[in-house]
A and B are shown apart, each in its own frame.
Chain A
Amino acid sequence: MKAKHLPLAATILIFVLSYALCAFQYPNILSTRVIGNLLTDNAFLGIAAVGMTFVILSGGIDLSIGSVIAFTGVFLAVMMENTSIHPLAAFVLVLIITTSFGALMGAIIHHLEMPAFIVTLAGMFLARGMAFVLSIDSIPIRHPFYATMKSFYLKLPGGGRLTLIGGVMLLVFALGILIAHRTRFGTNVYALGGGAQTARLMGVPTGLTTIMIYALSGLLAGLSGIVFSLYTSAGYSLATVGVELDAIAAVVIGGTLLSGGSGFVAGTLIGILIQGLIQTYITFDGSLSSWWTKILIGFLLFAFILLQKGILYLSRNNRALA
């Protein structure tokens, strides 16, 4: 096995082991109902995390996605409430807005040579502010089309349901894996993460790639916002605060190097599922307090960072020996 596959393998191993441990204590955790819910409850986080994976693979970071999700939700709710526009048209409109928002941030990062951290931080304030301006109330969405969309699901053997939004998440992950490993854009992202200078010298269009990466992250944050509004049937400007951190944690737990250039989109899915599993376990247990989620995720982050360090150290030593 190659060294670059080790973090992914470790993530999968940890997920399978912890799932087995949970199933040993609560056999019902194996039922397709729980698995279906695991996918549904984490759908919006997963979709946003795919975008975050691309950003982190390129060596950047996007702090704005939580705010963009909230903005999308409020925008959709306000549109449904005040206009007679069809939800599908509103979806297209909001995706255009969030994609251009991401592209704009990418353009600023590239052309003004400012750190992604600070630019997307300003973007985070701006998107949250736009949501506040649209409405500071929690607005319910009562459009019949939402009810129709929520009633779609695939019946799994054993009574579980793969809902529409859970399916959308899996589809986004599949597309993300294809884009990352089978397109020129994906290769450019990896090249950019490996070193911007080197990538430029090799002829990678760094400017266009940077803009496309943040546009993709904006697009997926918008899609995640749509999914979140389907999930909650409401738009609220204070929703999804801190989702960017959960997404970053999922990406790192999924074995992607935060310095960029190495990692897998599939790992992020496992990262999301591990976080979801911890929450499910705490729900099953009933006596554990919710703060254990945060402490456990922090601990997992630490463990994975150490693991990656160890692998890097070993692979360097191997090279020195050879």
Chain B
Amino acid sequence: MSMLGLYGRRLLPQFIALAIILGLVSIAFPGFFNLQIQNGRLYGSLIDILNRGAPVALLAIGMTVVIATKGIDLSVGAVMAICGAVAASAITSGYSLPATLLLTVGVGVLCGLWNGILVAILDIQPIIATLVLMVAGRGIAQMVTNGAILTFNDEGLIFIGSGSLFGLPMPIVIWITAGILVALLVRRTALGMLIEAVGVNRRASTLAGVSTPVLLIAAYVLSGLCASVAGIIAAADIRGADANNAGLWLELDAILAVVIGGTSLLGGRFSIAASLLGAMIIQSINTGILLSGFPPEFNLIIKAAIIVFILVLQSPKLQGTLAFFSRSNAATKPAESKAK
């Protein structure tokens, strides 16, 4: 089978899920697929989904790599809040735009480095190691903004949140570029395979000569980096830094995006494209519920039901049962005796 065919097959369930959701929404809201160009920029519900989904998509890129190493990063929402606060306070205290961006991204990298060192060097379980920053992070963000919502008027910074490039809103350009860059980095080099090796068996890959600590730290740094860019977008979008609400619960959405994308929480095989599709599925659900005129109170219930449905389909037990039936149809295989 060709590479492309293999790739398409891996992404098929996510594409089908996305198509079903978009189809359902377009039944309830007929003008859903309309696109129009105004002032040299595309407008329409689809563009809106891509645009609103930018923070979760960015977080999902870093989260995919972290989860592939058998880790998890709970701190990304808090890191978003810290980075938004840093960006806002830097730009209002007179730093130039490049300096502000550099400083903000630097803080994100530092947060990732902290998580990575806890996980790789001190050998702390990822879920606890990143819990520390998740709990303390919002406090730190409030300290940076002095407890207030810091607003700013810098055109350059606002452009990142609401400007447009090649007719597409800036956030879309950023997350798609980031997705392509990271995917190329891990798939055109041996990096992706090494990350999967660490996720499957950390000890074995260390013994095989993989420098696991460096890889682990790099994964968390990438996650911190993605979170900082997402934080800048979120802050630029509302032209202010809200330490309490920026990125609130987005870590959960990002993890969901990765899980819907079919990457196992137990590490190993991962696909960045599938996670990005997962992020778009989540955003389509959110936007779709709003557009189709359901009372907003039902949002969470519908979201939970769809998530449970997708997860049940992906659950190892059910997959095992399905595989068992398809196998016993074809021919009785010794694998049967292995099935529980």
Q: What is A's interface to B at a CB cutoff of 8 Å?
A: 61, 63, 108, 111-115, 117-119, 121-126, 128-130, 132-133, 136, 245, 248-249, 252, 258-259, 289-295, 297-299, 301-302, 305-306, 309
Cβ of B305: which chain A residues have Cβ within 8 Å of it?
126
Q: Is B205 located at the chain interface by the 8 A CB criterion?
A: no
A-B CB proximity, top 5 nearest: A298-B136, A129-B300, A294-B139, A129-B301, A291-B142
For the complex with contacts A112-B317, A122-B307, A249-B131, 18 further pairs of A-B residues with Cβ separation under 8 Å are A63-B252, A121-B252, A123-B304, A126-B301, A126-B305, A126-B308, A129-B299, A130-B301, A132-B298, A133-B301, A245-B135, A291-B140, A291-B142, A292-B139, A297-B135, A298-B132, A301-B132, A309-B123
Q: Are A291 and B138 neighbours in the complex by a CB distance under 8 Å?
A: yes
Interface residues of B in 124-140 (CB under 8 A from A): 124-125, 127-129, 131-140
Q: Are B297 and A133 neighbours in the complex by a CB distance under 8 Å?
A: yes
Q: Are A245 and B316 neighbours in the complex by a CB distance under 8 Å?
A: no
What is the distance, in angstroms, from B86's C-beta to the closest C-beta of chain A?
A: 15
Q: Is B311 located at the chain interface by the 8 A CB criterion?
A: yes
Q: Are A126 and B300 neighbours in the complex by a CB distance under 8 Å?
A: yes
Of B122, B123, B136, B302, most A-chain CB atoms within 10 Å? B136
Q: Are A126 and B132 neighbours in the complex by a CB distance under 8 Å?
A: no
Interface residues of B in 241-278 (CB under 8 A from A): 243, 252, 255-256, 259, 265-266
Can you list 7 A-B contacts with CB-CB less than 8 angstroms, sorted by A residue number? A117-B265, A132-B298, A252-B131, A291-B147, A294-B138, A294-B142, A301-B128
Asked, given contacts A125-B303, A126-B301, whether A245 binds B134 with beta carbons under 8 Å apart, the answer is yes
Q: Are B265 and A115 neighbours in the complex by a CB distance under 8 Å?
A: yes
Q: Is B184 located at the chain interface by the 8 A CB criterion?
A: no
Cβ of A259: which chain B residues have Cβ within 8 Å of it?
125
Q: Are A299 and B136 neighbours in the complex by a CB distance under 8 Å?
A: yes
How many Å lie between the Cα of A40 and that of B317 in the bound state?
A: 45
Cβ of B298: which chain A residues have Cβ within 8 Å of it?
129, 132-133
How many Å lie between the Cα of A298 and that of B114 in the bound state?
A: 13
Interface residues of B in 197-254 (CB under 8 A from A): 243, 252
Q: Are A293 and B307 neighbours in the complex by a CB distance under 8 Å?
A: no
A interface majority secondary structure: helix
What is the distance, in angstroms, from B296's C-beta to the closest C-beta of chain A?
A: 8
Q: Are B135 and A122 neighbours in the complex by a CB distance under 8 Å?
A: no
Q: Are A293 and B308 neighbours in the complex by a CB distance under 8 Å?
A: no
Q: What is B's interface to A at a CB cutoff of 8 Å?
A: 72, 118, 122-125, 127-129, 131-140, 142-143, 147, 243, 252, 255-256, 259, 265-266, 296-305, 307-308, 311-312, 315-318
What is the distance, in angstroms, from B231's C-beta to the closest C-beta of chain A?
A: 17
Q: Are B135 and A121 neighbours in the complex by a CB distance under 8 Å?
A: no
Q: Are B304 and A132 neighbours in the complex by a CB distance under 8 Å?
A: no
What is the distance, in angstroms, from A142's C-beta to the closest C-beta of chain B?
A: 24
Q: Are A294 and B300 neighbours in the complex by a CB distance under 8 Å?
A: no
Q: Are A305 and B132 neighbours in the complex by a CB distance under 8 Å?
A: yes
Q: Are A305 and B312 neighbours in the complex by a CB distance under 8 Å?
A: no
Q: Are B311 and A114 neighbours in the complex by a CB distance under 8 Å?
A: yes
B interface majority secondary structure: helix
Pick the residue among A121, A132, A291 that contacts B255 (CB under 8 A). Answer: A121
Asked, given contacts A121-B255, A258-B127, whether A132 binds B300 with beta carbons under 8 Å apart, the answer is yes
How many Å lie between the Cα of A290 and that of B147 in the bound state?
A: 9
What is the distance, in angstroms, from A313's C-beta to the closest C-beta of chain B?
A: 9
Question: Which residue of chain A is the closest to B264 with respect to CB atoms?
Answer: A115
What is the distance, in angstroms, from B338's C-beta to the closest C-beta of chain A?
A: 15
What is the distance, in angstroms, from B327's C-beta to the closest C-beta of chain A?
A: 19
Q: Are A125 and B136 neighbours in the complex by a CB distance under 8 Å?
A: no
How many Å lie between the Cα of A298 and that of B132 in the bound state?
A: 5
How many Å lie between the Cα of A287 and that of B323 in the bound state?
A: 63
Q: Are A301 and B147 neighbours in the complex by a CB distance under 8 Å?
A: no
What is the distance, in angstroms, from B88's C-beta to the closest C-beta of chain A?
A: 16
How many Å lie between the Cα of A133 and that of B302 in the bound state?
A: 11
Pick the residue among B124, B128, B139, B308 that contacts A122 (CB under 8 A). Answer: B308
Cβ of A63: which chain B residues have Cβ within 8 Å of it?
252
Q: Are A252 and B304 neighbours in the complex by a CB distance under 8 Å?
A: no
How many Å lie between the Cα of A115 and that of B128 in the bound state?
A: 16
How many Å lie between the Cα of A258 and that of B297 in the bound state?
A: 34
How many Å lie between the Cα of A301 and that of B75 in the bound state?
A: 14
Question: Which residue of chain A is the closest to B74 with respect to CB atoms?
Answer: A245
Asked, given contacts A112-B315, A309-B124, whether A132 binds B297 with beta carbons under 8 Å apart, the answer is yes
Question: Which residue of chain B is the closest to A294 with respect to CB atoms?
Answer: B139
What is the distance, in angstroms, from B210's C-beta to the closest C-beta of chain A?
A: 23
Question: Which residue of chain B is the closest to A301 with respect to CB atoms?
Answer: B132
How many Å lie between the Cα of A228 and that of B19 in the bound state?
A: 43
How many Å lie between the Cα of A173 and that of B124 in the bound state?
A: 29
Question: Which residue of chain A is the closest to B122 with respect to CB atoms?
Answer: A309
How many Å lie between the Cα of A228 and that of B171 in the bound state?
A: 41
How many Å lie between the Cα of A290 and that of B139 in the bound state?
A: 8
Cβ of A129: which chain B residues have Cβ within 8 Å of it?
297-304
Cβ of B134: which chain A residues have Cβ within 8 Å of it?
245
Q: Are A295 and B139 neighbours in the complex by a CB distance under 8 Å?
A: yes
Pick the residue among B128, B299, B312 that contacts A258 (CB under 8 A). Answer: B128
Cβ of B303: which chain A residues have Cβ within 8 Å of it?
125, 129
Q: Are B300 and A128 neighbours in the complex by a CB distance under 8 Å?
A: yes
How many Å lie between the Cα of A177 and that of B255 in the bound state?
A: 34
Cβ of A291: which chain B residues have Cβ within 8 Å of it?
138-140, 142-143, 147, 243
How many Å lie between the Cα of A117 and that of B307 in the bound state?
A: 13
How many Å lie between the Cα of A245 and that of B133 in the bound state?
A: 12
Pick the residue among B72, B139, B296, B315 that contacts A114 (CB under 8 A). Answer: B315
Q: Are B131 and A301 neighbours in the complex by a CB distance under 8 Å?
A: yes
Q: Are B304 and A125 neighbours in the complex by a CB distance under 8 Å?
A: yes
